[in-house]
Amino acid sequence: MTVANSQRDTSLVGTRVLNPSPATPLIELDRVVVDFEKRQAVFQRGRPDLLRAVDEVSLSIANGESLGLVGESGSGKTTVGRLAAGMLAPTSGIVRANGQVLGQDRGALASYRRNVQIVFQDPYSSLDPRMRVGSIIAEPLFGREGAWSTRSARKERVDELLNLVGLLPDAASMYPHQFSGGQRQRIALARALSSDPRLIILDEPTSALDVSIRAQILKLLKDLQRRLNVSYLVISHDLGSVAYLVSRVAVMYRGRIVEQGSPAQIYRTPQHPYSRLLLASVPREDTSFIMTEDIAVNEPEAIDAGTGCGFRNRCNLRCQLPEPSRCEDTRPRLLAATDNHFVACHGIGARSGVDNGES
Amino acid sequence: MRMSSDSVGADAATPALEVKNLCVSTGRKRDKGRQLLDGISFKLMPGEALGVVGESGSGKSLTSLAILRLLPRGLSVDAGEILLGGVDVLAMSARDLRQARGRKFSMVLQDPMSSLDPCFQIRSQMREALQNVVSASGKSRREIDEICEDLLQRVRMPEPDVVLRKYPHELSGGMRQRVTSAIALSGGPDVLIADEPTTALDVTTQALYLSMLKQLQISTGFSLMFISHDLLLVKQMCDRLIVMYAGQVVEEGPLGEVLASPQHPYTRALLRSIPKPDVDAELFPIDGYPPDPAAYPPGCRFAPRCAHARDACDGGVPDAAPRSASGHVARCIGTADGGWVA
Amino acid sequence: MSMHSAPVGMPGLSAIVRGVIRGTREMPPTVLVCVFLLVTLVLSAMFAPLLVDHSPTYQDLIRRMQPPAWVEGGSADYLLGTDGLGRDMLSRLLYGGRISLAVAGLAMLFGASFGTLLGLWAGYFGGIVDAVVMRVVDVLLALPTLLVAIVLAVAIGPSFWNVVFVVSFLLWPKITRQIRGEVLAVKEQDYVKYAEGIGRSRLSVMLRHLLPNVTPSLVVVATLELGHVVLLEASLSFIGAGIPPPNPSWGVMVDEGRALLATGWWLSLFPGLAIMVTVLIFNTLGDWLRDILDPRLKLR
């Protein structure tokens, strides 16, 4: 049944299968864990080692809301994105869409996938080089009953979408290699929009693009967000892009969320040592070099966080904690520092002013 | 470890690297030679850090390849000089060039994965590199290993002795980049060309690496040519800046001055388009796309995308006119004296 | 599942044609010559009946062992001379070409189709199917081709279709191995993951995305293998395990000429030359196709 939202561009209303009530989050991850098997040597005995990519992550995105996941390689953010897209199943924990658990039910999974779309980082490998752009964009619509079952309806939709992303209609008959990186990302975006999704997962949407094109794509994304009232899950290491598109940010490190808050909170008053390291590392216009070694040390070997804090081997902030060993054996939980600003660190409140980021 | 800069000599006015009117094209008959680099000129003084900013298609990487004489097949230098401490690199014999590489000039490239051979330990690769620049005669293996450890320590590698025994795939990207940097600096070159050295690295790793590189540059005194698409990185690392667009240098000058009062519309647009990591920020993208080398516009190459363009801009490529006494030049008739742009 | 775009093979074909046309502008002279020769070969084989008056099997014992027209003793009637049973060499050559090329073409068609499908399946679905198929491929490739061909051909008897079968049986493992390797790489591409992610069945992904993208590689390997295939058929016919008499094929002709080599040098020479030239053509074309197709079609 369609939900005609007066704020939205009604000409694009398709057949929305899910009808979310305002209170139920669009998507919810409840303490999900994803373990990958490490490749085993040929003659190694026993079970293969497991690599924990996502370590008990919980998050939710409400209808119309957008969330940013910030982290570097190894943080698990890409895996969370894939989880949210329904491309992989968690090792444990629950993924819920509109209150319903996403299990093995093929029907539910299929309709979920139409409501959640993904745009990949690499504009070159995300489009099939052998397909025409029109077919690529219409791919999510194949085999669908209802509004888009006829060829002409699909063609109309493709033209509509091309217009929406700022490409000419004759692009539909061309091949991906005839377009630049930025244009290809637009095509990928048109594809993601074709099934009229409620949530689009953007996995590093602008990292592979030229600097002058990035702003174009970001602006387009913002524009579409407003017009279509679609939610985003933005996964990126680029804080600037993320802040521009979302209302909440979660910082991830080694599979765990270490801080969560509004973009203003995270960027102006980061609390977690890793967030502070990240922000200090980003070159800013107004500041010059910051000695990031004061905050954390060089990249060490990957340690198994185990039951302690995953950042403990790198953390260089001096904390006057009554029990210094808490970082070793107790995993910090996400606790509220201020209003709606959560941090997972034992040292909160136990650091002197300078170490707390206050100047 | 650094050898005294006998190549540059006592005359501090000789640039460590000077590129004069460098032109590179594809030179293939059918294409009628696509002009990929068009009159590139700049100077790099001893001890200075020069930033080269541009996007894909700007020619910034090609410039470094041309300097190192590592242009891919099919591309050739049509005109220009590349003076390394006063000596023309383009005119060097193969033997002299081999001597110069590593000792006079050196490079760190973007992809640390492919810079190191996965089949050999770090130790062997460093030894091999050292053979070329340090006379290994009479030095035992242990002595060479010590030199290697020393080099790794200079790039602030934790536990150099352990790292030496490892294979490239056992190291992280940041560590690999430090290894390649150590190798690049082992011969004590006067000029180090770093072509997007941190693009493949995480942002925190990048910060650590760049602070190491900057400090090393200041303490050792080599000249750094730092190529990047990221203006902000260049701002951190460099003293002077050149901005490249579509195969030309469109602006050059002291960093602070160029960023405070950019004289070319492209530089201005670039500065404005950088997303700020803060809320409530407006974005100002640059419309359009960089031009195709096969079809450059007749006049100013940025004119099709320039908000201030007028008909006069199509009349021909503007000269790099000086804007101040400190060597600040820009190719724009609009921003020049008597122009129409503020 | 309704596909609203062109049928599966088509995008691959048009892209290949475009690639070839693009490459034509830069064709080295050797390749140009090969293309010309190939066209001549195929056309003359197709239109053989129109080009020669004599039947390839009609025996005229009076006119046996006549040398080619330009040698003393030859006549313009039989341009390339006659063989031991008085059959016209030229028409036997052309008709033989028909058969040799037909066998090669058919064997390639069956062998490549089967090999490709198997390779797609094994590469994409993996698991036990992949393991089993690849072990079979390994075994078959380890066996000496000609020996196996002979054994098989002798066992099932000489006939046109039997030869086609034997050759395609020996061909498919090479194709499968190549295609499977390609598929392993292609299936990791984001667009494949995307298609899977939106809920396409694996079969649909295999046919719609994987097949067109491995086609260029298939074309290259098929062209290169055509040379082997022609040679294989010729070898089988040469030892009598291939095309049965009185039908000519080049291999048969070489065999027939062997005994009479001293007196009739033209009997084995022309078919031998034909085999050699054909194999050369395919090898050259295959190499050239590999150079122009692979990097171009993988180009961003």
Count of structural domains, chain B: 1
- B 190-209 residues with CB below 8 A of A? 202-208
Q: How far is CA C292 from CA A169, A221, C183, C284, in A?
A: 31, 38, 20, 12
Task: Please list every residue in chain B whose beta carbon sits closer than 8 Å to the beta carbon of residue A210.
Answer: 55-56, 229, 290
Q: How far is CA B209 from CA A284, A299, B117, B229, in A?
A: 16, 11, 21, 17
Block residue for tokens 């210094």: A324
Find the CATH number of the domain harbouring C210: 1.10.3720.10
Task: Please list every residue in chain A whose beta carbon sits closer than 8 Å to the beta carbon of residue C215.
Answer: 130
Categorize the per-residue pLDDT at C212 as very low, low, confident or very high, splitting at 50, 70 and 90: confident
Q: For residue C12, is it within any domain?
A: no
* DSSP β-bridge partners for residue B252: B242, B329
| pLDDT value of position A193 | 92
Listed residue (A73, A87, A70, A98) closest to A34, CA to CA: A87
Q: Which chains touch A (3 or more CB pairs under 8 A)?
A: B, C
- Interface probe, candidates A286, A298, A303, A341, chain B, greatest B C-beta count within 10 A: A298
| pLDDT value of position C8 | 33
Q: Which chains touch C (3 or more CB pairs under 8 A)?
A: A
Q: For residue B338, is it within any domain?
A: yes
Listed residue (B270, B91, B84, B107) closest to B193, CA to CA: B107
Categorize the per-residue pLDDT at A112 as very low, low, confident or very high, splitting at 50, 70 and 90: confident
User: Residue B41: is it exposed, middle or buried by C-beta count within 10 angstroms (0-12/13-18/19+)?
Assistant: middle
Task: Please list every residue in chain B whose beta carbon sits closer than 8 Å to the beta carbon of residue A261.
Answer: none
Task: Please list every residue in chain A whose beta carbon sits closer than 8 Å to the beta carbon of residue B231.
Answer: 211
Which residue on chain C is closest to A107 by alpha carbon? Answer: C199
Listed residue (B246, B301, B241, B298) closest to B271, CA to CA: B241
* DSSP β-bridge partners for residue A27: A61, A97
Q: Where are the domains of chain A?
A: 10-38+48-251, 270-356
Check whether A195 has a pLDDT greater than 60: yes
Mean residue pLDDT across chain B: 84
| ipTM of this complex prediction, to 2 decimal places | 0.78
Residue among B275, B277, B289 whose CB faces A215 most closely: B275
- B 261-290 residues with CB below 8 A of A? 269-270, 273-279, 281, 283-287, 289-290
pTM for this structure?
A: 0.79
Categorize the per-residue pLDDT at A151 as very low, low, confident or very high, splitting at 50, 70 and 90: confident
User: Which of B45-59, C7-21, C67-81 is predicted least confidently?
Assistant: C7-21
* Distance of alpha carbon B124 from alpha carbon C276, whole angstroms: 49
- The DSSP call for residue C243 is S
Tell me the fold of A10-38+48-251: Rossmann fold (3.40.50)
Contact C200 A142 (CB under 8 A): yes
Q: For residue C16, is it within any domain?
A: no
CA dihedral A120, C193, A48, A50 (to 10 degrees): 30
Q: For residue B273, is it within any domain?
A: yes
Prior bond to C246 cis, omega within 30?
Answer: yes
| pLDDT value of position B227 | 94
| pLDDT value of position C246 | 76
| pLDDT value of position B136 | 56
- A 111-170 residues with CB below 8 A of C? 113-114, 117-118, 120, 122, 124-132, 134-136, 138-140, 142-143, 149, 151, 154
* Distance of alpha carbon B174 from alpha carbon B179, whole angstroms: 9
Q: What are phi and psi of B194, to 5 degrees?
A: -115, 110
Residues A69 and A252: beta-carbon distance below 8 Å:
yes
Share of chain C above pLDDT 70, in %: 89
| pLDDT value of position B310 | 84
Joined tokens for residue A6: 């007066």
| pLDDT value of position A292 | 64
Q: How far is A142 from chain C (nearest CA, A)?
A: 7
Which amino acid is residue A19, in one-letter code? N
H helices of chain C, where? 9-24, 29-46, 48-51, 89-125, 127-142, 145-156, 160-186, 190-197, 202-205, 211-238, 250-259, 265-298
Mean pLDDT over A328-342 rounds to 81
* Distance of alpha carbon B245 from alpha carbon B63, whole angstroms: 12
Categorize the per-residue pLDDT at A5 as very low, low, confident or very high, splitting at 50, 70 and 90: very low
Residue among A86, A135, A142 whose CB faces C197 most closely: A86
* Distance of alpha carbon C190 from alpha carbon A6, whole angstroms: 36
Q: For residue B324, is it within any domain?
A: yes
First to last CA, chain C: 30
| pLDDT value of position A43 | 62
Categorize the per-residue pLDDT at C217 as very low, low, confident or very high, splitting at 50, 70 and 90: confident
Please report the number of interchain residue pairs, chain A to chain C, with beta-carbon separation below 8 angstroms: 73
Domain region containing C190: 46-52+78-298
User: Which of A107-121, B295-309, C7-21 is predicted least confidently?
Assistant: C7-21
| pLDDT value of position B187 | 84
Residue A196 neighbours by CB distance under 10 Å = 22
User: Which of A3-12, A198-207, C49-58, C128-137 is predicted least confidently?
Assistant: A3-12
* Distance of alpha carbon C269 from alpha carbon B118, whole angstroms: 53
The dihedral built from the CA positions of residue C276, C281, C284 and C287, taken in this order, carries a sign that is negative
Count of structural domains, chain C: 1
Mean pLDDT over A248-272 rounds to 90
Task: Please list every residue in chain A whose beta carbon sits closer than 8 Å to the beta carbon of residue B158.
Answer: 298, 300
| pLDDT value of position A42 | 59
Joined tokens for residue C3: 């596909």
Categorize the per-residue pLDDT at C224 as very low, low, confident or very high, splitting at 50, 70 and 90: confident
Q: For residue B56, is it within any domain?
A: no
B236 close contact with A: CB closer than 8 A: yes
Q: For residue B342, is it within any domain?
A: yes
Joined tokens for residue C91: 């028409």
**pLDDT tens digit string along B82-91?**
999 888 888 8
| Residues of chain B with confidence (pLDDT) below 70 | 1-12, 27-33, 133-138, 276-281
Q: For residue B264, is it within any domain?
A: yes
Decide which of A57 and B275 is more confident. A57
Domain region containing B279: 260-342
